[in-house]
Amino acid sequence: MKIVASTKLNRAQRAMQDSRVYGNTSNKVFESAETKALEGEGKKKLVVVCSSDKGLCGGVHSGLSRYIRRRALEDSNFDLVIIGEKCKAQLSRTNAQNIKLSFSGAGKDIPTFSDSQAIADQIVLLPGDYSDVEIVYNKFVNATSYEPTTVAAFSEEAIIASANFAAFEVDEELLGNLREYALANSLYWALCEGHACEISARRNAMDNASKNAGEMINKYQILFNRTRQAVITGELVEIITGATASEDM
């Protein structure tokens, strides 16, 4: 599994670099427009958690779950959309009431824009009136470390209320398409970053498992040799003792 993960890591990192172009472009548009989340009484925030269905990769998924639990202690006024069975299983034990939608099968291979577009289609159809959407994913720092990070995906109302959005001259009829496309871009970025973190974490986890297994084998090999030597020494002592006693008689 370590060898397989090592061969997949280069592909995952290339896909991650490509996906950053999508996400950064959307962010620059909203930064230029000075788009901000709308605050309103009774409005919830929608949090999308990007994990996967596979395990054996250290704490890459449990780190996201801990982040959501800490956030729920501060403010539980949010709904959850979970991508991946791992975080769904972990958060179902503590935040089941917040889960509104979940997806599986998105992390079988390198994520594609089609995957993120299909997920974005379903998120847009949710009936709740949300102030904004926040995507939580593992940011790839280097081959040995990652950290839970968030990226914003704004609602149509927030886009319309942007201070400088009029400069882009976008028809209001197309705002829904723009919002969904921007959400798909951010999801694609988050899924690719999370996939690269998962592959890297799996390689490190399998490397540690191999080292631990090797140390265990050496430990028990030494114990076996010492036990065998003790048995042989005991038998030799008995033989010598018996021979000496026969000579004395």
Q: What is the pLDDT of residues 201-246, one digit of tens each?
A: 888 888 888 889 999 999 999 999 999 999 999 888 888 887 777 7
The answer to whether residue 111 sits within a structural domain is: yes
- Give the range among 16-25, 33-42, 53-62, 190-199 with minimum mean pLDDT: 33-42
Structural domain including 161 reads 2-203
Give the pLDDT of residue 203: 87
Tokens 């370590």 appear where? 2
The answer to whether residue 152 sits within a structural domain is: yes
Q: Which helix (H) or strand (E) holds 81?
A: strand 78-83
The answer to whether residue 106 sits within a structural domain is: yes
The answer to whether residue 124 sits within a structural domain is: yes
The answer to whether residue 199 sits within a structural domain is: yes
Q: Count the domains in the chain.
A: 1
Distances (CA, A) of 33 to 10, 46, 70, 184: 35, 22, 31, 19
List, in sequence order, the alpha helices (H) in 62-174.
Answer: 62-74, 85-91, 113-124, 156-160
101: β partners:
81
Q: Which two tokens stand for residue 238?
A: 């008995």
Q: What is the mean pLDDT of residues 155-175?
A: 75
Q: What is the pLDDT of residues 54-84, one digit of tens each?
A: 887 878 888 999 999 998 888 888 899 999 9
Give the pLDDT of residue 68: 92
Q: Which residue, among 69, 202, 189, 201, has the nearest Cα to 137 in the 3D structure? A: 189
Give the pLDDT of residue 41: 59
What is the CATH classification number for the domain harbouring 73? Answer: 3.40.1380.10
Name residues whose C-beta falls within 8 Å of residue 234's C-beta, 6 or more positions apart in sequence.
none
The answer to whether residue 234 sits within a structural domain is: no
The answer to whether residue 243 sits within a structural domain is: no
Please state, in angstroms and rounded to a whole number, the distance separating the CA atoms of residues 178 and 182: 6
The answer to whether residue 222 sits within a structural domain is: no
Give the pLDDT of residue 174: 75
Q: Which two tokens stand for residue 120?
A: 């974005």
Q: Which residue has the higher pLDDT, 234 or 26?
A: 234
Q: Which residue has the higher pLDDT, 149 or 171?
A: 149
Phi, psi of 145 (to 5 degrees): -140, 155
HSE value, Cβ hemisphere, 13 Å, CA-based, for 11: 10
